[in-house]
Amino acid sequence: MIEFIKSLPKAELHLHIEGSLEPELMFELAKRNNVEIPFSSVEEVKKAYNFHNLQSFLDIYFQGANVLIHEQDFYDLTMAYLLKCKEDNVVHTEIFFDPQTHTDRGISFDTVINGIHRALKDGEKDLGISSKIIMCFLRHLSEEEAFKTLEMSLAHKDKIIGVGLDSSEVGHPPSKFERVFKKALEEGFLTVAHAGEEGPAEYIWEALDLLGVTRVDHGVRSLEDEKLVKRLKEEQIPLTVCPLSNIKLCVFDKLSDHNLKSLLDNGLMAMINSDDPSYFGGYLGENFIQCQKELDLGKDDLKKLAINSFKSSFLEEAEKDKWINKINNL
Ligand code: HPA
Ligand code: ZN
């Protein structure tokens, strides 16, 4: 099965590039940039990766990002992730970045986007991996801050396909960002949002109705609302599910309790993603391998998940069809 999983071309649609910062690179960048980090060894960092909810993770995730200063740092971070994609046969990736995590520390928007974008271009040329960039607003910050970030992004519209919403979900409903998403849509960006990870099904309704999202990130709590399931099924709205993330952040107790299979059985457009792989114990391949084992997924389930990843992507239809045909012929 591991070989079969490897052989499947896959697209990743829910990946925070800052969440792919491996402890080894964190140390290297801390040294290179003379930044103090509150850990003395890679083992100590790994030990700190024990989370009891989303917030306990975010505190460490924002701290880790402090070592990213120069354009080359963002390049190195992104290139390291692309090399993992290559190992896992991820042929297309749509990555999130959080500009505010960096601009709030005095790093310019241009430094961040240019480093990420240059690595993605090299990844396309040298590794054959296609990609898109999605800019996320931090939802624990204000609407006004999000508007300022949107303004900064306009000079880079050619590099950014869409906007998203991440960080602390509960208490920061999608409705808080209705106006800024309206502006983003008017500017031609696609929209997505994290909803229904820790927050209630109501937040998924808001993401759909107020933010005009084309995909829901996570969305695992949708099964709590029958009417919502009907809507998601009828419109085949993708749910970018992140199984290992959900276990690490205690959304489910253990992987065998995860509702991924039920989402598929309900006719929903779900697929597997890694979210913040350095922090959650595995890249996309590892998420597939562990889900296959714990949820008893057969080859047809795995093919469906890979096909759903392309169907739900922002690739051109011809590109989607090319990969879907390859999977169907396996
Ligand atoms: N949820 C919300 N915000 C995040 C996540 C997540 O899983 N990862 C990085 N920022
Ligand atoms: Zn996420």
Mean pLDDT by 10 residues, the chain (330 residues): 98 99 97 96 94 97 98 99 99 99 98 99 99 99 99 98 98 99 99 98 99 99 98 98 98 98 98 98 98 98 98 98 98
Alpha-carbon Rg for the chain, nearest whole angstrom, is 18
Q: Is the CB of 245 under 6 A from ligand 1?
A: yes
174 CB-side CA count, 13 A = 29
For residue 167, the CA-to-ligand 2 centroid distance in Å is 8
Q: Which residue is closest in CA terms to ligand 1's atom 7?
A: 275
Distance in Å, CA 28 to ligand 1 centroid: 24
pLDDT in the model for residue 165 = 99
According to the model, what pLDDT value does residue 261 have?
Answer: 98
Atom of ligand 1 lying closest to residue 98 CA? 10
Q: Which residues are the active-site residues? A: 197
The verdict on the CB of residue 274 being under 6 Å from ligand 1 is: no
Nearest to 304 by CA among 227, 218, 247, 238: 238
> What domains can be seen in the chain, in order of their start residue?
2-328 (3.20.20.140)
What local confidence, expressed as pLDDT, does residue 109 receive? 98
**Residue 198, ligand 1, Cβ within 6 A:** no
Residue 14's pLDDT is 99
* Residue environment code for 238-251, b if the CB has 16+ CB neighbours within 10 A, otherwise e: bbbbbbbbbbbbeb
Burial classification of residue 212, based on how many CB atoms lie within 10 Å of its CB (0-12 exposed, 13-18 middle, 19 or more buried): middle
Cβ of 166 closer than 6 Å to ligand 1, yes or no, is: yes
Residue 208: its pLDDT value, please? 99
pLDDT at 203: 99
